[in-house]
Structure 1
Amino acid sequence: MKQEAAHSASYTVPCEDYVNVVEFSPFQSGVAGNLLAYGGNQHVVVGACRFQEEDAEVEGVEFTTLRVFHHGVPVDGLAWSPESRLDHLPQLIRFCTAAVDWKLRLLTSDLQDRHEMQVMEGHTDYINDLVFEPSEGKQLASVSDDLTCRLWDLEGNQTASFLLRSPGMSVCWHPEEVYKLMVAEKCGVVRFYDLLTQQAILSLDSGQTPLMSADWCLTNTIKVGAVVGNDWVIWDITRSSYPQEKRPAHVDKARLFRWSKANENLFATTGCPGKINSQLLVHHLGHPQPVMIGSSVVGAGLSWHRTLPLCVIGGDRKLSFWLTEM
């Protein structure tokens, strides 16, 4: 298949700050639209967005800011709680951030007069990823350059810790496998932990380094993907501990890997932020080349819409959305 020419974004939304991280809520939130949060150097903005693909009355994209949270320090990572709901009173927005000061911050708001921030301390180096337990949202997991994966309750207490062999780069909690936690390490290994016994029960090996990002497929639990060096790799965890597929993706090192939440064969990768030739690439497992190439210089963050084949990345004072025709 001939590689397509670079595309400009399908939609853009202006922001007042450089966007370090952006996340669609992966959960049904009871709102006409989709909860989306993005973090910059001082603030986190929470809003609802609607697209013309899901509402004919919308022209392109419509983004409504629900609240701006003062954060005080640059945001490195963000995870949504499944408890975030806008369809009953009081409304509840809850998410957690990872910041450059190595602390987690749990933010809770009713979008009226209740706004709380719980600071969680314990990591001794940069926090690379975090995730909520997806069924009830009563626990958090985080991974760090300090060679640990830590579990927390909502009061900020550390409830468990796994010692890693290299920096933890990604952590995933699957709604169909809530007693397992997937942890990806920079050394190229992905391990699954049984949360009841707190033991590693399965490991995957990419055979190369550095692994920068990994993701557990929402629509097919046997699929795990990652970017390692310049390549993307895909495992079928029922067949082998080594990747089933592997292809070069980016000229410079790849930075992020995210599965589509709507299609088990669709995923996106980004190059390292700030590089001139750093691109967003959208891949389909049925095609030998990327099915779409985003032309703008990549900022930071990458997230897929819950039901549409649409992903978003952050950048310099804007959000860029790409719709894939699949």
Structure 2
Amino acid sequence: MQDDASHSPTYTVPCEDYVHVVEFSPFCSGSSASLLAYGGNQYVVVGTIIFQEEDMEVEGVDFNVLRAFHHELRVDALAWSPESRLDRIPMIRLCTAAADRKLRLLTSDLQEKHEVKVMEGHSSYVNHVVFEPTEGKQIASVSDDHTCRVWDVDGTESVIFRLLSPGVSVCWHSQEVFKLMVAEKKGTIRFYNLVTQEAMLSLDCGTLSFADWCFPNPIKVGAVSGNDWLIWDVTRSSYAQEKRPAHMDKARLFKWSRANENLFATTGCPGKMSSQVLIHHLGHPQPVVIGCATVGSGLSWHRTLPLCVLGSDRKLCFWMTEM
């Protein structure tokens, strides 16, 4: 389905239920098709998605469900493992977080084998999870319990960083895997050395909702605080180089494009009816795309296309950017 109005999604894919989280796989899997997962009240759906921009034979978008996993509780956070692949020996591996404060490692060969490993340790709500991006042997999570925890995939905790306020997001450096970025609600973004287990650098702003580390260019860090988005150059200063108002109703998420280091998206906090998604380009004073989704949640960028997705009520909404 293709729409022309600037606020309408470029494409939509219908879903069975309300979508709370959605993530493109950010990794080069053993397949040309892009992996996409989304989670709702008691399920995780994994599939491949191809857009007409990638394959001329596709009309609009083609989403093919590979597997639906039962999930005991609502999925509140979701991360892909770089071990996921669809070649001759398929493997799907995801980590989820739910309101019972537990992480769940889901592993499937899409045939007979299907495992769920439950990881316990957090004492409050888990806000974000991420895999180590090269081998996927570790997972980092942040929580309202004022900790960032690094887990081995066998379920053991290898590192605990004590925070001064709730952790809102965590990111691994795209190349130097001993570096971890942790954003705290009270407005501090810290960079940790996982070898020495010490903080190397920190950035400061007001109350943070979310922060993201630019995958194509890791000297850039972006975040949303109050109604504003902020961007730092970590080589220059601990204060933001750019700050602009974005959302009237408080900003919720900030995610960098993986295809273009000057492109990023922000979402507003879900309202009673609709949620706003704005796509920004650093060379433009105004958002280049203004979108809207019914009580939208989750936000993720395609690995190679300038396209992002938002979860919505019984559908996924995709916006393509002309960049």
- 1:57-136 equivalences under 5 Å are 57-89=57-89, 91-136=90-135
Distance 2:174 2:209 in 1: 23
1:179 and 2:160 correspond: no
Partner of 2:238: 241
> 2:149·2:161 contact (CA, 8 Å) conserved in 1?
yes
Secondary structure at 1:36's aligned position in 2?
Answer: strand
Partner of 2:296: 299
- Of 285, 288, 295, the match for 1:288: 285
> 2:211·2:223 contact (CA, 8 Å) conserved in 1?
yes
Which consecutive residues of structure 2, in runs of 5 or more, have no partner in the other structure? none
Deviates more, 1:32-41 or 1:275-284: 275-284
The code of the aligned residue for 1:47 comes to G
> 1:270·1:298 contact (CA, 8 Å) conserved in 2?
no
Deviates more, 1:110-119 or 1:297-306: 297-306
> 1:271·1:298 contact (CA, 8 Å) conserved in 2?
no
Partner of 2:210: 213
Post-superposition shift, 1:274?
Answer: 3.1
> 2:163·2:184 contact (CA, 8 Å) conserved in 1?
yes
> 2:174·2:218 contact (CA, 8 Å) conserved in 1?
no
1:55 and 2:52 correspond: no
* CA displacement, residues 102-141 of structure 1 (integer Å, 9 cap, x when unaligned): 1100000000000000000010111000100111100000
Q: Percent identity of the aligned residues?
A: 72
Question: Cα RMSD over matched residues?
Answer: 1.0
* CA displacement, residues 245-266 of structure 1 (integer Å, 9 cap, x when unaligned): 0000000110000000000000
Distance 2:232 2:212 in 1: 11
Post-superposition shift, 1:72?
Answer: 1.4
Give the TM-score normalised by structure 2.
0.97
The code of the aligned residue for 2:281 comes to H
Segments of 4+ moved more than 2 angstroms: 274-278, 295-298
1:166 and 2:180 correspond: no
The code of the aligned residue for 1:21 comes to V
Partner of 1:148: 147
The code of the aligned residue for 1:244 comes to Q
Which consecutive residues of structure 1, in runs of 5 or more, have no partner in the other structure? none
Post-superposition shift, 1:298?
Answer: 4.3
1:37 to 1:51, Cα distance in 2 relative to 1, 3 A: same
Post-superposition shift, 1:273?
Answer: 1.6
Distance 2:270 2:45 in 1: 21
Post-superposition shift, 1:275?
Answer: 4.2
Secondary structure at 1:241's aligned position in 2?
Answer: coil
- 1:247-266 equivalences under 5 Å are 247-266=244-263
* CA displacement, residues 168-217 of structure 1 (integer Å, 9 cap, x when unaligned): 000001221201000000011100000000000000012x12x0111000
Partner of 1:267: 264
> 2:126·2:142 contact (CA, 8 Å) conserved in 1?
yes
Distance 1:295 1:119 in 2: 35
Distance 2:22 2:247 in 1: 21
The code of the aligned residue for 1:174 comes to H
The code of the aligned residue for 1:222 comes to I
Number of aligned residues: 319
Distance 1:267 1:190 in 2: 18
The code of the aligned residue for 1:254 comes to A
